[in-house]
């Protein structure tokens, strides 16, 4: 049993990369999703249904298709990719940033939906009262809207973390499966599954994935219940 938990270097790197991708994905997508979710909850404009459809498109597209589109528009051979490399010497595809971008794209609709729903539950009259009392839109947003919608925002953050932790299709297409660079837990598990007799390391990484996901969800539920209890 002791040998079962002897992780090799590649496995440790895969776990570390998965956590880094999930953390970066959450930190980058959350503030953008808060702005978009609030705007979608409070604004009415022509073409809103189209914008909503585009936002939710990654939910219904096969992840491999999403990864291919990222490769077409952001890859090293694309116009944007060539400009980025010529101006700054930066290549996105098949690098660590590509894994983060892929995770952000596939998880973003889930975060926006969670935040939008929570923002819609905030009484607009409270925001109006805040503005009448002299608070600006930005102050009202952070002092009234965000605290009242915080359980939904926290749920969105956990969804981003969990979804990015399990991302496979878009990542392998846009970022590749490069050990120590873009090989996250799902990709490492996939590699082991292709090798006969690798049931033990496969199960080892599966268990790690389960533990990380369970801890994230448990902390989220505990935090939400604590917030609701404190508010009551």
Residue 159 and residue 107 in contact, taking contact as beta carbons nearer than 8 Å: yes
> Is the per-residue pLDDT at 2 higher than 60?
no
Q: 63 versus 231: which is more confidently predicted?
A: 63
Confidence (pLDDT) at 190: 92
Cβ-count burial of 198 within 10 angstroms (0-12 exposed, 13-18 middle, 19+ buried)?
middle
**Mean pLDDT value across residues 26-37:** 95
Confidence (pLDDT) at 77: 86
- H/E stretch holding 2: none
How many whole angstroms separate alpha carbon 129 and alpha carbon 111?
Answer: 28
Confidence (pLDDT) at 10: 86
Cβ neighbours of 37 (radius 10 Å): 25
pLDDT band with cut points at 50, 70 and 90 for residue 38: very high
Confidence (pLDDT) at 153: 92
Token pair belonging to 51: 């914008």
Confidence (pLDDT) at 231: 64
Phi/psi-derived region of residue 189, left when phi > 0, alpha when psi is between -120 and 50, beta in every other case: alpha
Token pair belonging to 91: 């290549």
Confidence (pLDDT) at 146: 92
Can you tell me which residue has the tokens 């090799």? 8
How many whole angstroms separate alpha carbon 146 and alpha carbon 185?
Answer: 33
Residue 149 and residue 35 in contact, taking contact as beta carbons nearer than 8 Å: no
- H/E stretch holding 90: none
pLDDT band with cut points at 50, 70 and 90 for residue 136: confident
**Mean pLDDT value across residues 143-158:** 90
Confidence (pLDDT) at 99: 95
> Is the per-residue pLDDT at 175 higher than 80?
yes
Structural domains in the chain, sorted by start: 7-231 (1.10.3720.10)
How many whole angstroms separate alpha carbon 95 and alpha carbon 16?
Answer: 15
Task: Compute the mean pLDDT over every residue in the chain, rounded to the nearest whole number.
Answer: 89
Can you tell me which residue has the tokens 């992840």? 63
């Amino acid at each position: 049993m002791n040998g079962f938990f002897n992780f090799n270097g590649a496995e440790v790197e895969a776990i570390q990369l998965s956590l880094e991708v999930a953390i970066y994905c959450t930190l980058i997508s959350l503030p953008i999703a808060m702005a978009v979710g609030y705007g979608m909850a409070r604004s009415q404009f022509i073409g809103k249904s189209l914008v909503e459809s585009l936002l939710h498109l990654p939910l219904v597209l096969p992840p491999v298709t999403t990864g291919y589109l990222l490769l077409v528009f952001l890859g090293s051979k694309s116009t944007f990719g060539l400009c980025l490399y010529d101006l700054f010497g930066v290549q996105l595809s098949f690098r660590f940033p590509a894994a983060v971008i892929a995770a952000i794209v596939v998880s973003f609709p889930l975060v926006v939906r969670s935040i939008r729903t929570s923002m819609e539950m905030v009484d607009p009259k409270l925001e109006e009262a805040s503005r009448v009392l002299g608070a600006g839109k930005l102050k009202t947003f952070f002092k009234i809207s965000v605290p009242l919608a915080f359980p939904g925002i926290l749920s969105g953050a956990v969804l981003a973390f969990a979804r990015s932790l399990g991302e496979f299709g878009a990542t392998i297409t846009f970022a590749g499966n490069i050990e120590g660079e873009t090989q996250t837990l799902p990709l490492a598990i996939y590699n082991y599954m292709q090798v006969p007799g690798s049931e033990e390391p496969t199960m080892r990484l599966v268990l790690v994935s389960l533990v990380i996901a369970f801890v994230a969800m448990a902390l989220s539920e505990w935090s939400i219940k604590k917030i609701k209890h404190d508010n009551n």
